[in-house]
Chain A
Protein backbone atom coordinates (compact mmCIF):
# COMPACT_ATOMS: atom_id res chain seq x y z
CA UNK A 1 0.00 0.00 0.00
CA UNK A 2 1.27 3.50 -0.79
CA UNK A 3 0.15 4.83 2.56
CA UNK A 4 -1.85 7.99 3.10
CA UNK A 5 -1.33 10.31 0.14
CA UNK A 6 -1.67 14.06 0.47
CA UNK A 7 -1.46 16.76 -2.15
CA UNK A 8 -0.06 19.24 -2.70
CA UNK A 9 3.10 18.90 -0.59
CA UNK A 10 3.58 22.66 -0.51
CA UNK A 11 1.13 25.48 -1.12
CA UNK A 12 1.88 29.18 -1.11
CA UNK A 13 -1.10 31.42 -1.57
CA UNK A 14 -2.13 35.00 -1.05
CA UNK A 15 -4.41 36.07 1.74
CA UNK A 16 -8.04 35.85 0.70
CA UNK A 17 -7.55 33.03 -1.76
CA UNK A 18 -9.25 29.66 -1.53
CA UNK A 19 -7.05 26.70 -0.64
CA UNK A 20 -7.97 23.05 -1.12
CA UNK A 21 -5.95 20.26 0.44
CA UNK A 22 -6.47 16.67 -0.66
CA UNK A 23 -6.09 13.29 0.96
CA UNK A 24 -6.33 9.67 -0.12
CA UNK A 25 -6.53 7.36 2.90
CA UNK A 26 -5.37 3.78 3.10
CA UNK A 27 -7.87 1.41 1.57
CA UNK A 28 -9.94 -0.34 4.24
CA UNK A 29 -9.38 2.31 6.89
CA UNK A 30 -12.76 3.49 8.12
CA UNK A 31 -11.51 6.57 9.94
CA UNK A 32 -9.99 9.68 8.44
CA UNK A 33 -8.56 12.58 10.43
CA UNK A 34 -7.40 16.06 9.53
CA UNK A 35 -4.76 17.61 11.80
CA UNK A 36 -2.94 20.92 11.82
CA UNK A 37 0.58 21.23 13.26
CA UNK A 38 2.30 24.44 14.33
CA UNK A 39 5.27 25.14 16.57
CA UNK A 40 3.10 27.05 19.01
CA UNK A 41 0.17 24.65 19.34
CA UNK A 42 1.56 21.29 18.28
CA UNK A 43 -0.76 18.78 16.60
CA UNK A 44 -4.42 19.79 16.66
CA UNK A 45 -7.32 17.65 15.49
CA UNK A 46 -9.56 19.60 13.15
CA UNK A 47 -12.16 17.03 12.12
CA UNK A 48 -12.59 13.31 11.70
CA UNK A 49 -14.78 11.07 9.58
CA UNK A 50 -16.07 7.55 10.07
CA UNK A 51 -17.24 5.73 6.96
CA UNK A 52 -17.25 9.05 5.08
CA UNK A 53 -19.49 10.75 7.66
CA UNK A 54 -18.13 13.72 9.67
CA UNK A 55 -18.23 12.76 13.35
CA UNK A 56 -16.58 15.61 15.20
CA UNK A 57 -15.69 18.96 13.68
CA UNK A 58 -15.29 20.82 16.96
CA UNK A 59 -11.64 21.43 16.18
CA UNK A 60 -12.34 23.36 12.99
CA UNK A 61 -11.24 26.87 13.93
CA UNK A 62 -13.75 28.92 11.98
CA UNK A 63 -16.43 28.77 9.33
CA UNK A 64 -13.70 29.50 6.82
CA UNK A 65 -12.68 25.86 7.18
CA UNK A 66 -14.69 23.04 5.67
CA UNK A 67 -14.02 19.37 4.99
CA UNK A 68 -15.69 16.76 2.86
CA UNK A 69 -15.33 13.07 2.25
CA UNK A 70 -17.37 12.21 -0.84
CA UNK A 71 -16.19 8.61 -0.89
CA UNK A 72 -13.99 6.18 1.00
CA UNK A 73 -10.88 7.05 -0.99
CA UNK A 74 -10.88 10.83 -1.03
CA UNK A 75 -11.21 13.78 1.32
CA UNK A 76 -10.66 17.52 1.02
CA UNK A 77 -10.01 20.30 3.48
CA UNK A 78 -10.89 23.73 2.17
CA UNK A 79 -10.02 27.14 3.57
CA UNK A 80 -11.92 30.08 2.13
CA UNK A 81 -10.80 32.82 2.48
CA UNK A 82 -7.29 31.99 3.68
CA UNK A 83 -5.45 34.15 6.21
CA UNK A 84 -1.76 34.32 7.22
CA UNK A 85 -2.55 32.70 10.58
CA UNK A 86 -3.66 29.57 8.70
CA UNK A 87 -0.03 28.94 7.78
CA UNK A 88 0.84 25.51 9.17
CA UNK A 89 1.44 21.92 8.16
CA UNK A 90 -1.82 20.06 7.59
CA UNK A 91 -1.81 16.31 8.02
CA UNK A 92 -4.32 13.72 7.01
CA UNK A 93 -4.33 10.40 8.84
CA UNK A 94 -6.35 7.23 8.52
CA UNK A 95 -6.99 4.29 10.79
CA UNK A 96 -8.96 1.12 11.26
CA UNK A 97 -10.28 2.52 14.53
CA UNK A 98 -10.24 5.86 16.29
CA UNK A 99 -8.10 4.76 19.22
CA UNK A 100 -4.75 6.06 18.11
CA UNK A 101 -2.83 3.73 15.82
CA UNK A 102 -2.97 6.22 12.99
CA UNK A 103 -1.10 6.31 9.70
CA UNK A 104 -0.24 9.87 8.76
CA UNK A 105 0.43 11.32 5.36
CA UNK A 106 3.49 13.44 4.68
CA UNK A 107 1.50 16.63 5.12
CA UNK A 108 0.82 19.79 3.17
CA UNK A 109 2.91 22.79 4.17
CA UNK A 110 0.65 25.82 3.71
CA UNK A 111 2.00 29.35 3.62
CA UNK A 112 -0.46 32.23 3.34
CA UNK A 113 1.20 35.56 2.53
Chain B
Protein backbone atom coordinates (compact mmCIF):
# COMPACT_ATOMS: atom_id res chain seq x y z
CA UNK B 1 0.00 0.00 0.00
CA UNK B 2 1.07 3.52 -0.69
CA UNK B 3 2.07 5.85 2.12
CA UNK B 4 3.77 9.19 2.62
CA UNK B 5 5.95 10.46 5.45
CA UNK B 6 6.74 14.11 5.90
CA UNK B 7 9.66 14.81 8.18
CA UNK B 8 8.98 17.74 10.46
CA UNK B 9 5.52 19.03 11.30
CA UNK B 10 6.92 22.56 11.53
CA UNK B 11 9.77 24.21 9.64
CA UNK B 12 10.95 27.76 10.25
CA UNK B 13 13.22 29.68 7.87
CA UNK B 14 14.30 33.28 7.47
CA UNK B 15 13.13 35.32 4.54
CA UNK B 16 15.55 34.76 1.68
CA UNK B 17 16.80 31.43 3.00
CA UNK B 18 16.49 28.04 1.33
CA UNK B 19 13.27 26.15 1.90
CA UNK B 20 13.55 22.36 2.17
CA UNK B 21 10.52 20.26 3.04
CA UNK B 22 11.14 16.55 3.22
CA UNK B 23 8.93 13.79 1.93
CA UNK B 24 9.45 10.06 1.64
CA UNK B 25 7.01 7.72 0.04
CA UNK B 26 6.24 4.05 -0.11
CA UNK B 27 4.66 2.61 -3.22
CA UNK B 28 4.43 -0.82 -4.77
CA UNK B 29 4.03 0.66 -8.24
CA UNK B 30 5.67 3.60 -9.99
CA UNK B 31 4.18 6.47 -8.06
CA UNK B 32 2.43 9.64 -9.02
CA UNK B 33 3.60 12.21 -6.46
CA UNK B 34 2.27 15.63 -5.59
CA UNK B 35 2.89 18.62 -3.40
CA UNK B 36 -0.10 20.68 -2.33
CA UNK B 37 -0.14 23.92 -0.38
CA UNK B 38 -2.86 25.30 1.86
CA UNK B 39 -2.70 28.99 2.64
CA UNK B 40 -4.62 30.24 5.70
CA UNK B 41 -8.38 30.01 5.23
CA UNK B 42 -8.03 28.60 1.73
CA UNK B 43 -8.33 25.22 0.06
CA UNK B 44 -5.62 22.91 -1.23
CA UNK B 45 -3.69 24.19 -4.22
CA UNK B 46 -1.51 21.99 -6.40
CA UNK B 47 2.13 23.14 -6.35
CA UNK B 48 3.60 20.48 -8.61
CA UNK B 49 3.31 16.84 -9.63
CA UNK B 50 5.53 13.98 -10.76
CA UNK B 51 4.06 11.43 -13.14
CA UNK B 52 7.13 9.49 -14.37
CA UNK B 53 8.51 12.09 -16.77
CA UNK B 54 11.43 14.33 -15.75
CA UNK B 55 12.70 13.64 -12.24
CA UNK B 56 13.12 17.34 -11.46
CA UNK B 57 9.69 18.92 -11.40
CA UNK B 58 9.14 22.64 -11.41
CA UNK B 59 6.01 24.07 -9.90
CA UNK B 60 4.40 27.37 -9.20
CA UNK B 61 5.82 30.18 -7.09
CA UNK B 62 9.43 29.08 -7.61
CA UNK B 63 9.08 25.68 -5.95
CA UNK B 64 10.56 22.50 -7.35
CA UNK B 65 10.90 18.90 -6.25
CA UNK B 66 13.20 16.07 -7.25
CA UNK B 67 12.05 12.47 -7.51
CA UNK B 68 14.75 10.10 -6.25
CA UNK B 69 13.71 6.50 -6.67
CA UNK B 70 16.76 5.09 -4.85
CA UNK B 71 15.92 7.16 -1.79
CA UNK B 72 12.12 6.98 -2.22
CA UNK B 73 12.09 10.72 -1.68
CA UNK B 74 10.33 13.69 -3.21
CA UNK B 75 11.63 16.69 -1.27
CA UNK B 76 10.29 20.17 -2.00
CA UNK B 77 12.69 23.10 -2.31
CA UNK B 78 12.71 26.80 -3.02
CA UNK B 79 15.98 28.76 -3.22
CA UNK B 80 14.73 31.86 -1.44
CA UNK B 81 11.79 31.99 0.96
CA UNK B 82 9.29 34.80 0.84
CA UNK B 83 6.92 35.85 3.57
CA UNK B 84 4.02 34.83 1.35
CA UNK B 85 5.25 31.22 1.38
CA UNK B 86 4.06 30.78 4.95
CA UNK B 87 1.48 28.00 4.69
CA UNK B 88 0.97 24.30 5.25
CA UNK B 89 2.45 21.95 2.68
CA UNK B 90 1.30 18.42 1.95
CA UNK B 91 3.16 15.72 0.11
CA UNK B 92 0.89 13.13 -1.46
CA UNK B 93 0.95 9.95 -3.53
CA UNK B 94 -1.74 8.70 -5.82
CA UNK B 95 -3.10 5.28 -4.93
CA UNK B 96 -4.05 3.66 -8.19
CA UNK B 97 -5.57 0.54 -6.70
CA UNK B 98 -9.31 -0.08 -6.53
CA UNK B 99 -9.69 1.34 -10.03
CA UNK B 100 -9.35 4.90 -8.87
CA UNK B 101 -6.77 7.51 -8.07
CA UNK B 102 -7.41 8.37 -4.47
CA UNK B 103 -4.76 10.56 -2.92
CA UNK B 104 -2.79 9.51 0.15
CA UNK B 105 -1.52 12.53 2.06
CA UNK B 106 1.31 13.07 4.44
CA UNK B 107 0.62 14.70 7.78
CA UNK B 108 1.62 18.12 6.48
CA UNK B 109 4.46 20.52 7.26
CA UNK B 110 3.71 24.03 8.40
CA UNK B 111 6.24 26.51 7.05
CA UNK B 112 6.98 29.66 9.02
CA UNK B 113 8.95 32.47 7.39
CA UNK B 114 10.72 34.97 9.66
CA UNK B 115 11.45 38.52 8.59
- Are A and B part of the same complex? no
